[in-house]
Amino acid sequence: MKQKLGVLGGGYVGLAVAVGFAERGFPVVLVESSKARFKALTQGSFFSSEGDLVQAFEKVKEDGMIHITSRVEDIQDISYLFVCVGTPEGDQGETDLSYLWAAIEQCSPYLREEACFIIKSTVPVGTGDQVQAWFDKQGKAVQVLSYPEFLREGKTLEDFRQPSRIVIGGDVNHPRVMELRQLLAEYSLPLLLTSRRDAEMIKYAANAFLATKISFINQMAQLCETLGTDIQTVAKGIGMDPRIGQAFLAAGIGYGGPCLPKDVASLMEQGRKQDLEMPILAAVARVNHDQRRWVRNQLRKQWGQLKGHVLAIWGVTFKGGSEDVRESPAVWVLEDLLKEGVHLQLYDPYGLESLKELWESRGVLESYAGQVQWAKTCWDSLEHVEGLVILTDWQEFKEVDLHRLKTVLPSSLIIDGRNLFYPSMMKQLGFKYISVGRKV
Ligand code: UGA
């Protein structure tokens, strides 16, 4: 039997880490302190769009490889604790570390001497050092490591099984770190050992660079629209250079989700604290914000005033493959259209429940109740509408029967914020098809 591991936090990252290690034969104690999430984990009602993860979770549970608990005391006999708590954005763009510090204080009495406290959450540079100093002050011989996670929502388990790289920051000569290194070496994964601060910085710089690629291509898309060139072809052409690569060059309504926006903001805030302005990141965030107006601008070109018009909306989550609506550019667009007085018939394969919860908590439903309808299928959303707006790149939309769509959408107007179809084909089918950075 391999040694027992602990995982703190049962969100996307924590669950993928717990399941990923459990299926490699490590018994895992998964600690989840939120009552609602604990209930969801034990009853199996969570992350409906993460099919692989849910299936693998059920399997390791059945095999008795994972113990889900709300009691932090249950970590007493483990040597490695992977900390996967949320680090959301605070009011000023700073990172809110309250969950991390609460976790440290709760765990500390139960962590055995020589245990490794491994921070997987995204935390500002220097946080790991502060946590180490805290343990040192308590006289506790705990080793703090930074082991940032690079997995994507919707593909969490796949990314955990086959990561592009594993970055571990800490005292590389410490026996526990060498043991962890050996434990991972068995899986021949690309490994980079470095300092805690470098590891923390790598995580931020990676996400900020991905955000930069997206804002760059969206800025090019804006220019393509005015010059009559095609962003899809341009992206393909530049991406053929291996120094640039094809990934993250899909133009659209901008990036969102719980990571990219907050990490760009946090990095700028970390720069500000050092009196360093970061004009590239400021521009990345600004282009991203402005890009969300693309839908409204296109509709204005069609109709002038938007008040009273009725639209079908496909997609509310921040990207296809995830039910997450946090910082979703689609949600921003929807709220923008509601303010303009547009009536919306919404469809999303997995995101409607999360959107209802979000809007209830923000009072949006109360203010715009008469303007919103929820559809059970993409076809239901199309009844009596004047056009269709696509905001998320779900596979279901890419595979839709376009001939049927043409018959049930009398106006033929499609505003595609995710460039899912070929403009020439859509024109041939008789649609009035408007997409990002491409010829109409
Ligand atoms: C991102 C990173 O990709 C992961 O490596 C990282 O581990 C994760 O954040 C994190 O920090 O936890 P994720 O937030 O799941 O992963 O989403 P992405 O797949 O990166 O997409 C982010 C946003 O960019 C989405 O709104 C997506 O629609 C948009 N996007 C992506 C584009 O607009 N164009 C593209 O070409 C690619």
pLDDT digits (tens, 9 = 90+) for 377-419: 999 999 999 999 999 999 999 999 999 999 999 899 999 999 9
- Ligand 1 pocket residue status of 201, Cβ below 6 Å: no
Nearest CA residue ID for atom 31, ligand 1: 248
State the distance between the two ends of the chain, measured CA to CA, in whole angstroms.
62
What is the rounded CA–CA span in Å between residue 282 and residue 263?
12
What is the rounded CA–CA span in Å between residue 307 and residue 309?
6
- Ligand 1 pocket residue status of 50, Cβ below 6 Å: no
Q: Which residues contact 371 (CB under 8 A, 6 or more apart)?
A: 338, 341, 342, 343, 344
Which of the four pLDDT bands, split at 50, 70 and 90, describes residue 180?
A: confident
Task: Tell me the CA–centroid distance for residue 206 and ligand 1, in Å.
Answer: 11
Q: Which residue has the tokens 């291509």?
A: 217
**Residue 256 CA: which ligand 1 atom is closest?**
26
What is the rounded CA–CA span in Å between residue 241 and residue 162?
25
Handedness of CA 204, 209, 214, 215 (dihedral sign): positive
Q: What is the mean pLDDT of residues 138-160?
A: 93
Q: Is the pLDDT of residue 357 over 70?
A: yes
Task: Tell me the CA–centroid distance for residue 73 and ligand 1, in Å.
Answer: 35
CA distances from 323 to 20, 46, 288, 318, 340 (A): 21, 10, 21, 8, 26
Which of the four pLDDT bands, split at 50, 70 and 90, describes residue 49?
A: confident
**pLDDT tens across 230-278, in order?**
999 999 999 999 999 999 999 999 999 999 999 999 999 999 999 999 9
Q: Is the pLDDT of residue 440 over 80?
A: no
Q: Is the pLDDT of residue 430 over 80?
A: yes
Q: Is the pLDDT of residue 284 over 90?
A: yes
**pLDDT tens across 196-207, in order?**
999 999 999 999
**Residue 329 CA: which ligand 1 atom is closest?**
26
**Residue 392 CA: which ligand 1 atom is closest?**
28
Record the pTM: 0.95
pLDDT of residue 93: 75
CA 306 to chain centre: 31
pLDDT of residue 186: 79
Which of the four pLDDT bands, split at 50, 70 and 90, describes residue 36?
A: confident
Task: Tell me the CA–centroid distance for residue 149 and ligand 1, in Å.
Answer: 13
Q: What is the mean pLDDT of residues 48-71?
A: 90
Q: Is the pLDDT of residue 86 over 80?
A: yes
Q: Is the pLDDT of residue 46 over 70?
A: yes
CA 219 to chain centre: 22
Q: What is the mean pLDDT of residues 284-291?
A: 98
What is the rounded CA–CA span in Å between residue 31 and residue 148?
19
**Residue 207 CA: which ligand 1 atom is closest?**
2
What is the rounded CA–CA span in Å between residue 210 and residue 344?
31
pLDDT of residue 91: 83
Nearest CA residue ID for atom 11, ligand 1: 259
pLDDT of residue 152: 94
Q: What is the mean pLDDT of residues 67-87?
A: 94
Nearest CA residue ID for atom 10, ligand 1: 259
Task: Tell me the CA–centroid distance for residue 316 and ligand 1, in Å.
Answer: 15
Which of the four pLDDT bands, split at 50, 70 and 90, describes residue 369?
A: confident
Least confidently predicted of 86-95, 100-109, 231-240, 406-415: 86-95
Which of the four pLDDT bands, split at 50, 70 and 90, describes residue 94?
A: confident
Q: What is the mean pLDDT of residues 179-192?
A: 84
Known catalytic residues are: 259
Provide the mean pLDDT of the chain.
Answer: 94
